[in-house]
Amino acid sequence: MIKRLLQKRLFLNKNKISRNRHCEPKAKQSRCLAEIASVASLSRNDAIVKYTLLKISNLILAFLLLTCIGLLHAAPVIYLLVDTTNQITIAQGQPIVITAGIADFQAQLDAAENSARKAHLEYLKEQLENDEITEDEFKEKSAELETLSIVSTTFGKSVAPWFEQLIWQYSTESNEWDRLQWETHLLLVPKPEPVAQLDNLGASEAAFGVDPEITNGIRTGNYVIRILLPPLTTDADTLWSNTIEIKIEKTKGPSEEWPFGERLLLAYYWVRRGEYQKALDEVEPLVNKEPTNINALQVKADALAGLGRFEEAADVFLDAIGLFESLEREHSCPPDYLIDRYIEMIDQLGVDE
């Protein structure tokens, strides 16, 4: 009975969701382009060029800033983030997520500049078609828009992925560096794996988690952490990361006593760790407390999917999508993640149209 009801909901919603699954990014960019064009009284093609150049200018500013503070070199750099920043305060018993990454900022800038050049070339082609410029003017201007060659940088080997070669160090108030003994678990495996190839995005990241059971045993205090990546080839250099700061405070007690947001983050952490039953145990009381909280519904659906309970997961994903569409927003297109995961559940169930 449950499956038949679920199938009916799938039939009614699958086509609509598939048609709209990519509307959110396009809607955002269209609004941005329209705003630029209206303010500057530009045509759409002019707006596209200006929109792209605005994005490039932001990257150039970041490039200059990083150069000034000595973080940007000709070679790629390795970096650390803790919960998407460089400094956090947590209590004993709360999880920690640390992201290690390798970035090639020059590759990012080159890729962005290529995008700007392609957009400008399309603009010139339209000018030529509209007889706004001559053939000679087009050839002269387009000759300056040759695409940059981006060299992919590769780290690691099949027997030695870079994220397993990292050396973790920490320092306290003594300012002496020691080997970090915290047990970490890989949460996000870079792609392609195990070799890190820096493509047009110019970065490869791996996320590591420190379980609540581990942080519960860490002494309170301030910890400064860094990583280094030893040379993986004879002609490579050791890469040193920036430092991150983690302040450990006394425990807040059992998670049942934590604020809603902190407990939801714990449930999401267990999803990322693959501990789906733990995630479900944490998030179900939150959904019961706030049944219209889309984030809590998403975590619950992910946990159910991880446990192989695809019918229930699809139902919860669909509830989250319905809630999102019912909100008064500039657009009614749910996030791609919810839609993609919902369709994955359909595929797992083998429901035919």
* 293 is a domain residue: yes
Could you tell me which residue, 108 or 205, shows the higher pLDDT? 205
Tokens (6 digits) for 298: 């998403």
277 falls within a domain: yes
Q: Is residue 198 part of a domain?
A: no
Q: How far apart are CA 121 and CA 116, in angstroms?
A: 9
Locate 230 and state its tokens: 């030893």
**Mean pLDDT confidence for 25-38:** 39
Q: Within a 13 Å sphere around the CA of 133, how many CA atoms are in the beta-carbon half?
A: 15
CA 45, CA 42: separation in Å to the nearest integer? 8
Q: What is the mean pLDDT of residues 99-123?
A: 81
Please give the biggest Cα pair distance in the chain.
Answer: 75
SS3 of 81, please? strand
Strand-pair partners of 167: 228
Q: Which domain CATH number covers 304?
A: 1.25.40.10
Kindly state the percentage of the chain with pLDDT values over 90.
Answer: 43
On whether residue 50 sits in a domain, the answer given is no
Domain annotation covers residue 283: yes
Average pLDDT over residues 55-77: 51
91: part of which helix (H) or strand (E)?
strand 87-91
pLDDT of residue 292: 92
Contact between 299 and 273 (Cβ < 8 Å) = no
Report which of residues 326 and 133 the model is more confident about: 133
Rounded CA-CA distance 243/173 in Å is: 14
Q: Which amino acid type is present at position 11?
A: F
What is the percent of the chain where pLDDT is above 70?
Answer: 66
| pLDDT for position 158 | 60
Q: Is residue 302 part of a domain?
A: yes
Distances (CA, A) of 202 to 61, 113, 198: 17, 13, 5
Q: In which band, very low, low, confident or very high, does the pLDDT at 202 lie, cut at 50, 70 and 90?
A: low
The CA-atom distances, in angstroms, between 326 and each of 90, 261, 275, 312, 334 are: 35, 23, 32, 21, 10
Structural domains counted in the chain? 1
| Residue 278 belongs to some domain of the structure | yes
> Per-residue pLDDT tens for 158-197?
666 788 889 999 998 767 899 999 999 999 766 655 566 6
Distances (CA, A) of 199 to 60, 92, 211, 248: 19, 38, 32, 37
Query: Within a domain: residue 337?
Result: yes
Domain enclosing residue 334, as ranges: 1-22+254-353
pTM for this structure? 0.68
Element (H, E) at 187: strand 185-188
Interval 198-226 mean pLDDT: 87
Using one digit for the tens of pLDDT, what is the confidence trace for 250-265? 999 999 999 999 999 9
Identify the residue with better confidence: 164 or 49.
164
- Dihedral (CA of 102, 106, 109, 110) sign: negative
Please give the residue that has the higher pLDDT: either 301 or 74.
301
